[in-house]
Structure formats: C-alpha cells, structure tokens
C-alpha cells in the first residue's frame, strides 16, 4: 500500500511532487524499465481509439506528450490533439518533445486536472489516458469526465499497468517490479521515493476486470480490455453512448 508522507496534504499533492521531480528522466526510464516495450503499448492503445485524419483526440494526464504524439502520427498530422496534465514540469518536457516531432504542429498542451476537464461536452472523438489512472484522486470521476467530453460513438481508452496472472511469469515479474525497479529508478534519478511509489501504486490499483466494471458503471458500452506482454499492462476501451 502507498503511504503518503505526512508533509503532503493529499495523494494528488504527493503525485504532483513525484512527477515534478522525475520529469527530466521520465521518458528515458520508461523505455529502459520496460525494455523498450512502452512504444508498442502506446501504439496499441492509440490503435483502439478509432482516430482518423482530421479528427480530434484528447490525451488526459499526458505527461511528456508521447501518447499525444502517437495520436498525431496516426492522424497523419491532420486534425488536433490536446494533451492535458496538472504538472508543469512534465508539460515543459512535453513541449520539448513536440518541438522535435514532425507531428507537433497539431498537438496542443494545456494544464488542467483529470477529474475536472476544462472542455465542453462532446468535444473530442476519443479520450485516452496512459499510465495515470493509478495516480488520479478518483478513478470513477476521471472515467466519467473522459466520457463526458467524447462525442457519442467515440472511444474512451486507458493504457495502464496491470496484474499478470500466469504462474512463474507472475512471480518473476513481481520480483523485478517490486525489488529491481526501485533500485534502477533511484540510480536513474538520483533519489529514493518516486520509483518505490510505483510498486505500491499497483498493489492499491484494482484488477483489470474491476476496471472494466468501472468503465461499464460510467455508462460506456462494448467495454473490453486487452492484456499485453503477459498482462504487465492492459488496455481498456469503451464507447460513449
């Protein structure tokens, strides 16, 4: 279980501090710790969004903008992608990534909160959230807000760490995730804490089958999920009525 240090008033404040401190190494460590699988996971998640050239997509908790850029690539640089995050340090890195990308001309980053999206109803063709549903203060409200801003027939998609079930593989994965990842993370950013939070946040997070039920409880239809890389991550998708 994640223990919030006493100096923080809330989980949201603690998470903000964590991501502010790791923004400068976030992309490198994501790729290194996932053995470069993070790119494949993002591609698959975006493939489930139903985006087409000229469309409009939303990346909630966009961080450094890598998922937003994948959306822009799929759209062929035609349309609009909006990335939203509450951490200015992550957005600053995202702007650097966008500036280096051939697809950056259609990506716009804004500061905001996942549980209170600053957009009108039915503003987007899809909304996606990557590796952040564990970190929001209210999972149900976040899904509800994503569904609110997507047009009827559009998709809500989540890419998130999940809980593998296969014997042997599961034990090996948890050994790596719980013991090795915090050490590598400490070496990568030069401080304890942020990558020790990661295993605890997954322990607290509902199983992928429970996330499916949350999608359904927020009125999404045709909800399903796809387990990738042995269930290390899952992609959930649902369609707005």
87 found inside a domain: yes
For the segment 91-145, what is each residue's pLDDT rounded down to a tens digit?
999 999 999 999 999 999 999 999 999 999 999 999 999 999 999 999 999 999 9
200 found inside a domain: no
Q: Give the per-residue pLDDT at 124.
A: 98
37 found inside a domain: yes
Q: For the stretch 11-42, what's the b/e string if a residue is b when 16 or more beta carbons lie within 10 angstroms of its beta carbon?
A: ebebbbbbbebbbebbbebbeebbeeebeebb
Q: Which of 93-102, 185-194, 221-230 has the lowest mean pLDDT?
A: 185-194
225 found inside a domain: yes
20 found inside a domain: yes
78 found inside a domain: yes
173 found inside a domain: no
Domain CATH code at residue 86: 3.40.50.150
Residue 184, pLDDT > 90, answer no
pTM: 0.94
Strand order across the 79-85 sheet = 107-111, 79-85, 55-60, 124-130, 150-161, 233-239, 221-228
Q: Give the per-residue pLDDT at 111.
A: 98
The dihedral sign for the CA sequence 99, 103, 105, 107 = negative
80 found inside a domain: yes
The number of distinct structural domains making up the chain is 1
Contact 129, 68 (CB under 8 A): no
Q: Provide the domain limits for residue 27.
A: 11-161+208-239
Residue 148, pLDDT > 80, answer yes
């Amino acid at each position: 279980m994640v223990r919030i240090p006493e100096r923080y008033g809330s989980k949201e404040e603690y998470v903000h501090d964590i991501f502010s401190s790791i923004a400068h190494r976030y992309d490198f460590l994501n790729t290194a710790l996932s053995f470069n699988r993070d790119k494949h996971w993002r591609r698959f998640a975006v493939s489930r969004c139903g985006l087409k050239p000229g469309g409009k997509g939303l990346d909630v908790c966009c961080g450094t903008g890598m998922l937003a850029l994948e959306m822009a690539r799929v759209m062929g640089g035609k349309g609009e992608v909006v990335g939203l995050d509450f951490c200015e340090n992550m957005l600053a890195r995202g702007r650097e990534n966008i500036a280096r990308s051939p697809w950056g001309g259609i990506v716009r980053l804004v500061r905001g909160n996942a549980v209170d999206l600053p957009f009108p109803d039915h503003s987007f063709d899809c909304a996606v959230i990557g590796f952040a549903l564990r970190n929001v203060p209210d999972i149900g409200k976040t899904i509800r807000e994503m569904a609110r801003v997507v047009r009827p027939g559009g998709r809500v998609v989540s890419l998130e760490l999940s809980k593998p079930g296969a014997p042997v593989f599961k034990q090996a994965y948890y050994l790596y995730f719980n013991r090795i990842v915090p050490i590598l993370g400490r070496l990568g950013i030069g401080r304890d804490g942020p990558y020790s939070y990661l295993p605890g946040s997954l322990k607290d997070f509902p199983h992928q089958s429970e996330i499916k039920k949350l999608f359904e409880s927020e009125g999404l239809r045709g909800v399903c999920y796809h387990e990738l890389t042995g269930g290390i991550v899952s992609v959930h998708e649902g369609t707005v009525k």
